[in-house]
Amino acid sequence: MKGRRQRAQTRSVYSMLPASIRRTLAGVSLGISIGVAGTLILLRVEEETEKPSRRVPIPTDRKPFDPKTLPKHEALRYGMPSDSNVHVRSGYVVSYDYRTRNASWVMEYLTKDSLRVEQETDRANSKFVVDKDVPEQFRVHPNRYLKSGYDKGHLAPARK
Q: Quick one: CA torsion of 99, 100, 101, 105, rounded to 10 degrees? A: -100
**Closest-CA residue to 141 (of 131, 133, 151):** 131
In sign, the C-alpha dihedral spanning 152, 153, 154, 157 is: positive
**159 to each of 7, 77, 82, 131, how far by Cα in Å?**
88, 21, 22, 12
First to last CA, the chain: 99
What are the distances in angstroms from CA 150 to CA 106, 111, 133, 140, 146?
A: 20, 31, 24, 13, 8
State how far the Cα of 45 lies from the Cα of 52, in Å rounded to an integer.
15
Active site positions, annotated: 154
